[in-house]
Amino acid sequence: MQQNSRLKMLRCRSTAELNSKLAAALDSFRDIFPADPQARILLKPNLNSNMNALTGNTTDLRLLAAVLRFLKEAGYQNITIGEGTNSGFYRSGISVITRLRVDALAKHFSVRCIDLNYSQPVPIPFADGVQAGIAKECAEADFFINLPKLKTHFEAGMTVCLKNLIGCLVGQENKKKTHLSLADNIVSITESCRPHLHIVDGLMAMEGLGPTKGTPVRTDTVFVGDNPYFLDLIAARFASCDIDKIGPLNAARRRGLISDELLAAAKAFPLEQHERPFAPPKAGPLASFIHHPKRQKYFLAIRNTRFFNWACNTELVGKLLFMTDLRQDVFLDEEMDCESLSLAADKCDRCGKCAAYCPLGLALPDALSDPSCIRCLYCFCVCPRKAIEFHGRLGFMAEQLKQYDEIIRRLA
């Protein structure tokens, strides 16, 4: 992995600003893009949960759209969005890709969208002689763009470029192997996949009990770079996180992948840190005890039994796991059905928030019925006066509103 690294830090407060600044940043990396317009380009976002990007949980559709727009305008024709979504949703038969409207965004831009959990595995080495399988699309991409979310993480310390690549693993059988030696195996995935470019989504980041149960933090920031170790070091500095408590970075240092020179360069990089340190990822006492590296393998041995899998799918056990922080997600079967969105004109003060957050840059609020709308509900979620009204069945989306509705509207 190269040690002389380039990095761009962008501050973007609207979709229009993101589109223009990201295009300029990506232009500065043109020398590493493939010359062939038919080159196989893979975009790997973080789709950890069915909680949308405004919760700080998943990669922002605004960022994905900006990257796709740049690639399409550059003439690339063989583009795929691929992610091996969270094992719990995969195990429950829930399509996070569909719930987050990533497939609808892909259709809008006429690109492929696949769940890497169902891909053909390519073996890679893990610690202690274990082998795991990454998706063939990750191994064979001509140009691999990693699009992680900037979040704290109660097991790894932070999840940025390195941790996001767990989603390259095929299915639960391969993902669970990661936890046999979490930090080292995350680094092994990084070294096997070797993405060419990393675009870190910090537009709405997450602090506290990430990767799902934390608190959104609006930073309006995107990082673009070619070295994942350098980017993760910079992200830790930006969030005022102690790098000694970030497992994958420590593993990379032990393996000589982060040199003293790279560490010094990260410390010297001219960086405007976030206005306050991110809250640390502190779990409850039971989750902290069980997920300690010395004990986690014993818990996993029980967790992966047929009986425990069955029990975890019951409502009672699921609630207990969520309450004790042993599970961060709520797996709801009911899908959302958005029949339409409408504007309560008497509530609207034309603040422009809905337009600023629309991934497609629609002329909101007047374009709520535009046929190109992908029903991501970003406009509905951010409207401070609740002037945009939802018609239909909320389904799983009701849980996001229960946990995050007021804080998202306040932050936006």
DSSP string spanning 169-229?
Answer: B-HHHHHHHHGGGHHHHHHHHHHHH--SEEEEEEEEEEESSTTTSSEEEEEEEEEEES-HH
Considering the domain architecture, whether residues 162 and 249 belong to the same structural domain is answered as yes
Q: Considering the domain boundaries, does residue 278 fall inside one?
A: yes
**Any idea what the CATH number is for the domain that residue 247 is in?**
3.40.50.11440
For residue 303, is pLDDT > 90? Answer: no
pLDDT for position 326 = 58
Considering the domain architecture, whether residues 302 and 363 belong to the same structural domain is answered as no
Q: Which amino acid is at 65?
A: A
Distance CA 145, CA 83 (A): 12
Q: Which of 290, 323, 356 is the last residue of a domain?
A: 323
Q: Which of 323, 356, 372 is the last residue of a domain?
A: 323
Considering the domain architecture, whether residues 34 and 89 belong to the same structural domain is answered as yes
Among 288, 250, 263, 214, CA closest to 51: 214
Helix (H) or strand (E) holding 297: helix 296-303
Considering the domain architecture, whether residues 257 and 364 belong to the same structural domain is answered as no
Q: Give residue-wise pLDDT tens across range 135-152.
A: 999 999 999 999 999 999
Distance CA 81, CA 45 (A): 8
Domain tally for the chain?
2
Question: Do residues 167 and 117 make contact, with C-beta atoms less than 8 angstroms apart?
Answer: no
With tokens 């003293």, the residue in question is 260
Give the mean pLDDT of the chain. 92
Which residue range forms the structural domain that includes residue 245?
Answer: 7-323
Considering the domain architecture, whether residues 286 and 214 belong to the same structural domain is answered as yes
pLDDT grade for 313, boundaries at 50, 70 and 90:
low
Q: Considering the domain boundaries, does residue 66 fall inside one?
A: yes
Percentage helix, strand, coil for the chain under 3-state DSSP, each rounded to 5: 45, 20, 40
Q: Considering the domain boundaries, does residue 132 fall inside one?
A: yes
Q: Considering the domain boundaries, does residue 319 fall inside one?
A: yes
Distance CA 261, CA 247 (A): 20
Q: Considering the domain boundaries, does residue 405 fall inside one?
A: no
The bridge status of strand 131-135 relative to strand 121-125 is antiparallel
Considering the domain architecture, whether residues 319 and 343 belong to the same structural domain is answered as no
DSSP letter, residue 134: E
Q: Considering the domain boundaries, does residue 367 fall inside one?
A: yes
Q: Considering the domain boundaries, does residue 158 fall inside one?
A: yes
Considering the domain architecture, whether residues 297 and 167 belong to the same structural domain is answered as yes
Distance CA 62, CA 15 (A): 6
Considering the domain architecture, whether residues 177 and 286 belong to the same structural domain is answered as yes
Q: Give residue-wise pLDDT tens across range 369-408.
A: 999 999 999 999 999 999 999 999 999 999 999 999 999 9
pLDDT for position 330 = 76
Distance CA 382, CA 404 (A): 11
Least confident of 178-187, 233-242, 290-299: 290-299
Considering the domain architecture, whether residues 236 and 373 belong to the same structural domain is answered as no
Considering the domain architecture, whether residues 352 and 226 belong to the same structural domain is answered as no
Least confident of 63-72, 279-288, 311-320, 394-403: 311-320
For residue 291, the SS3 value is coil
- Select the more confidently predicted residue: 92 or 66: 66
Q: Give residue-wise pLDDT tens across range 242-277.
A: 999 999 999 999 999 999 999 999 999 999 899 999
pLDDT for position 2 = 45
Considering the domain architecture, whether residues 307 and 346 belong to the same structural domain is answered as no
With tokens 């690549």, the residue in question is 165
The three-state (H, E, C) secondary structure of 76-91, written as one string: CCCEEEEECCCHHHHH
**Any idea what the CATH number is for the domain that residue 358 is in?**
3.30.70.20
Q: Considering the domain boundaries, does residue 399 fall inside one?
A: no
Question: Do residues 176 and 122 make contact, with C-beta atoms less than 8 angstroms apart?
Answer: no
For residue 241, is pLDDT > 90? Answer: yes
Instruction: Name the β-bridge partners of 222.
Output: 10, 201
Among 293, 335, 308, CA closest to 88: 308
Say how far residue 216 (Cα) sits from the centre of its chain.
13
Considering the domain architecture, whether residues 195 and 265 belong to the same structural domain is answered as yes
Question: Do residues 399 and 330 make contact, with C-beta atoms less than 8 angstroms apart?
Answer: yes
pLDDT grade for 86, boundaries at 50, 70 and 90:
confident
